[in-house]
Structures are given as structure tokens and as C-alpha cells.
Structure 1
């Protein structure tokens, strides 16, 4: 994918540097890192932004399903209870910890949008 975008940029512009000068909304170092496959961040999002700049349109937002902490907690709790050896499977301490964990996962998913 990066090779195709690099080839498209070079076909339309003299160099990657020239492309970056025409598109100041993109950081030059980020473009070079993404095209080299060495970008440490969310490279799919950056590739979409580069492709959008190349095509002359706004980048398409990735569509992540909206999942709430409660839904995550329900799914994880169902799994935990299925693996649990206790007779009383709905213990409050386990549910409290699962909700805390689910909130962390919810924040992670929200930050990826």
C-alpha cells in the first residue's frame, strides 16, 4: 500500500518533499516515516490522510463500532463466569473489577477514533 502511494506521489510531483510543500497540513517527517514503514503511531490513519491529500479530498474517518464500557463488561463477565469454579458466579468484587477494566478498554477504543 505504501509503495503504491509513494509511486502515485512521485508520478504527480517531483519528489516527496515537493508533495509535502504543496500540502502543509501534513507534517513532512510523518509522511516520510509512514512511506518508509517506520511510523510508530496510527499509520493507517496517516496513510488515509496522505491518500486524501493526494486525491484532493478530506480524509475518510475510520468507522469503529461504538462499544460502551457496560457492553464490554457484560461480555468479559460472561466469559469469566463461564470459567469460574465458584458456586455463586455473580460475585460483586469480580464485577467491580471487570467494570474498571472495561472502562480502560472503552477509553482505548475512543482514543483510536
Structure 2
């Protein structure tokens, strides 16, 4: 397994889970296996462990998608790009982002929290 494949596997894990440790906790795959595999130092059967991780990723649902989390991302990105000097318009942006966040989380179903 080359460095590019390891980085792609790390990106796939982080796309579904907040951290590598969250992935390990959710899937039951030990941290030492995941960390050694991603570092390229796993002494065992790399192909078998990679297949286990990929299978766990295929079964893993999207986690932590709440309206509040989506709203926070929309607000951070929107405010960073905003050039408005009149901050009275912020209320209308927040209302829009709240509605967008609710609509987006409706696509993923109810959150398990």
C-alpha cells in the first residue's frame, strides 16, 4: 500500500468520522491497527486490514449531521466571504442559513442524538 493509497484511506475515514479515534470507536477496529496501517508500519496482512476498514466505511452512516452543525458551517463560510459593512443584514442571512440547515439535515434523516 503506497503513500497515496494510505492518504486516500485516511481521507475516506475522515469524510465519515470526525477523527480516526471516532472511526475506531464506531467500528470496533483497534486504534493501533488503523494508526500503524495509515503510517505504513503495519506488520501483519495489510490487504486484509485494508479490506476490513473499507468494509466498515461502506457500512458506516453519516454521523453528527444536525441542523446546528450545518448552520455553523454555513455561517462560518458565509461570514468569511461577506463584504457587507452594514451588519443589520446579518439577521436575514442567519434566517436563510437556519432554513437551509434544516432542509439539508432533512435529507439525511433524523439525527441519533
TM-score by length of 1: 0.47
**Between structures 1 and 2, the one with greater helix share:** 2
The structure having more radius of gyration, on CA atoms, is 1
Higher relative contact order (CA 8 A, sep 6+): 2
